[in-house]
Structure 1
Amino acid sequence: MTQDNDSQTPPTNNAAAQNSGERIAKILARAGVGSRRAVERMIAAGMVRRFGHLISDPATKITDVNGITVDGRPVQPPEPPRLWKYHKPRGQVTTYHDPEGRTTVFEGLPQDTPRVVAVGRLDINTEGLLLLTNDGGLARWLELPANGWRRTYRVRAHGSINRRALDEIRKGAIIEGVAYRPAEIEIEENDSSNVWLNVTLTEGKNREVRKLLEYAGLSVNRLIRTAYGPFTLGKQPRYKLLEIPSSQLKIDVAGYFNETDSDTPQHNDDSPRAKPVRKETWAKAKPKNNVRRAGKQKRRPATTDGNSKPQKAASTRAAAKPATRQAVVKKANTGNLSSRRRPKS
């Protein structure tokens, strides 16, 4: 693999520079190289270099794409996020290269289309609305179940509906050990051979619509995605690619622009929003609870005087006075071990 000119030198690798940037996978995804996970695979395969130096750690932080090459080709600075609606027909696969030689979504796009990634996937037999973007970070943000983007499908299926199973799906079902979020299902038409339904999901598990309706006694024979959040298919012809105007995009995905413009994003790019918050809360709560328990020599049975509240803190401090500092530390440590074995629910 060819390297860049040796006269170019990488920026100084000091602590300030490392802490000021963002993960390389995130920046390259934003530049349209691929999804964040695809970029991580490229790094693992030894395809990513900076000023000729191999980058092997996906946690590497950078501030820009200056000097970055992927498979020997320079990476261009990211353009402003753009989003397109594509009417995918049946028979196309949502991938750049198919080992079986099947037609891909990207082969038939107009010549002037920049490199784009798909927001989620539609399998080969599913048709309808597929969102494409030049910003891998935006694609990831639109895919995250934590952000609650609604996917709506029009479905034709054959079989006899199991109403009890259908009600279960509407509340959230566990099928073959996999938990599915509640789905909205409306029966549109029902004749002797087929039934038409509208199904709305807030996540995109593999073949989710087909598996849910199979659980309800139906076999899907046509599946059309008609909407993804505020973006609708309408009467857009098959194979047609339409770009969302930038002014409208800033309204429809305002949350994404707010997060990327902020110095402190609302959620971690690698996981749903709730996870970092939950970990931080646990870390702070344990020492407080353990220290309080260390001084309470007679915590059980709880003493009440017609009140649901426990005794005031003054009595706790009084009970703790005779204990030596070593005894308190010893009990606090014992409390830590106990709380780890049986965390409070």
Structure 2
Amino acid sequence: MKNKSQPTDSGERLQKVLANAGFGSRRELERQIEAGEVSVNGKTAKLGDRVTPEDTIYIGRTKVGAWRLKKQEAQIIIYNKPEGELVTRDDPGGRPTVFSRLPKLVGSRWIAVGRLDLNTSGLMIFTTDGELANKLMHPSQQIEREYAVRVNGEVTSEKLQQLVNGVELDDGFARFEDIVESGGEGRNRWFHVVIMEGRNREVRRLWESVDLKVNRLKRVRFGPLFLDSSLAVGRHRELTEQELSDLLMATSAAPEPEPKKRGRGRKGKTPRNKTASRR
């Protein structure tokens, strides 16, 4: 029988286990461990400690339930977020949240991969795998996010090129990887844009930097996953086997698949007749 007063060489690293259980990113948890806020079997935890579901773990004064430590099969779903919903578990003002529409879970919890603001709709990914969520959100993965955006104002080729070349925002340099015109006329025109990060209101702030206002914004793609017309607003669904394989490949979490036959393009990909681009 395991002696709980002694560290163990078995199990997995503490920060990985807690991240997979949805207690935060691995980096955030490492900071908490270094600050002495996590204990294992009554002793202050150290980076590198390994744990199993048999261990007694506290984060601050909160005990981590043993069921949270057991490795479970990860679940991943996509959700078509409507405007007017918050990406938070609880809103003091009583406004609707995305989590209220998701399937109820026992023994785990949904983790949102990134956020969409109150007035932005479209594709969201939710998973019970904290490590996968952190990989999908980390800038080093260079995963594309594509948005359909309607802007109001005088759109010129110079402004579009400026957005592709890049501008300096309050929190640093930002740019669109791609801009494709997709309809509209007059002062209200639609575009599809691609960014590689998910900074707060980044798409809106980029357009505002060239004196254009966003009045509709919808995420239509996250990496290899597309929002298709079969998924109604406010509804969710599980990934297909192919979507799951493509998503894991995007984070290098699966072996390289066999090469696909030529001539089979991605379903739903925006045509490449660019208004502005930078290679």
Query: TM-score when scaled to structure 1?
Result: 0.63
Cα offsets for 1:128-185 (capped at 9, x unmatched): 0010011111011111222121101001121112432321221232234621144211
Q: Say if 1:170 and 1:136 are closer, same or farther in 2 by CA, change over 3 A.
A: same
- What is the one-letter code of the residue matched to 2:18? L
Aligned match of 1:244? 239
Aligned match of 2:97? 104
Aligned match of 1:253? 248
> What is the alpha-carbon distance in structure 1 between the residues aligned to residue 95 and residue 29 of structure 2?
24
Aligned match of 1:163? 157
Cα contact 1:161–1:216 (8 A) shared by 2: no
Matches within 5 A, 1:97-246: 97-112=90-105, 114-176=108-170, 178-235=172-229, 236-245=231-240
> SS of 2:205's equivalent?
helix
> SS of 1:186's equivalent?
strand
Cα contact 1:250–1:257 (8 A) shared by 2: no
Cα contact 2:152–2:215 (8 A) shared by 1: yes
Cα contact 2:7–2:49 (8 A) shared by 1: no
> SS of 2:124's equivalent?
strand
- Which of 72, 76, 88 is residue 83 of structure 1 equivalent to? 76
Cα contact 1:213–1:220 (8 A) shared by 2: yes
Unaligned runs of 5+ in 2: 256-279
Matches within 5 A, 1:39-118: 39=29, 48-51=38-41, 53=42, 55=44, 57=46, 59-69=47-57, 71-72=62-63, 73-74=65-66, 75-112=68-105, 114-118=108-112
> What is the alpha-carbon distance in structure 2 between the residues aligned to residue 212 and residue 91 of structure 1?
22
Q: Say if 1:205 and 1:216 are closer, same or farther in 2 by CA, change over 3 A.
A: same
- What is the one-letter code of the residue matched to 2:15? A
Name whichever structure is richer in strand by fraction.
2
> What is the alpha-carbon distance in structure 2 between the residues aligned to residue 125 and residue 55 of structure 1?
43
- Which of 20, 30, 35 is residue 20 of structure 2 equivalent to? 30
Cα offsets for 1:36-72 (capped at 9, x unmatched): 3564687699875433x25455x25214343244523
Q: Which stretch of structure 1 is more off in the superposition, 199-208 or 41-50?
A: 41-50
Cα offsets for 1:205-248 (capped at 9, x unmatched): 11110011112321111110001011111111112111114564
> What is the alpha-carbon distance in structure 2 between the residues aligned to residue 36 and residue 99 of structure 1?
28
- What is the one-letter code of the residue matched to 1:66? E
| Aligned residues: CA RMSD | 3.0
- Give identity over the alignment, percent: 34
Cα offsets for 1:9-50 (capped at 9, x unmatched): 426337xx3xx7754222211133444356468769987543
- What is the one-letter code of the residue matched to 2:14? I
Cα contact 1:91–1:103 (8 A) shared by 2: yes
- What is the one-letter code of the residue matched to 2:253? F
- What is the one-letter code of the residue matched to 1:64? T
Query: TM-score when scaled to structure 2?
Result: 0.76
Aligned match of 2:268? none
C-alpha displacement of 1:122: 0.7
Cα contact 2:88–2:99 (8 A) shared by 1: yes
Cα contact 1:141–1:256 (8 A) shared by 2: no
> SS of 2:69's equivalent?
coil
> SS of 1:210's equivalent?
helix
Cα contact 2:224–2:246 (8 A) shared by 1: no
> SS of 1:80's equivalent?
coil
Larger RCO, structures 1/2 (Cα 8 Å, 6+ apart): 2
> SS of 1:149's equivalent?
coil
> What is the alpha-carbon distance in structure 1 between the residues aligned to residue 110 and residue 99 of structure 2?
8
Q: Which stretch of structure 1 is more off in the superposition, 160-169 or 141-150?
A: 160-169
> What is the alpha-carbon distance in structure 2 between the residues aligned to residue 252 and residue 131 of structure 1?
11
Name whichever structure is richer in helix by fraction.
1
Cα contact 1:93–1:124 (8 A) shared by 2: yes
Q: Say if 1:80 and 1:110 are closer, same or farther in 2 by CA, change over 3 A.
A: closer
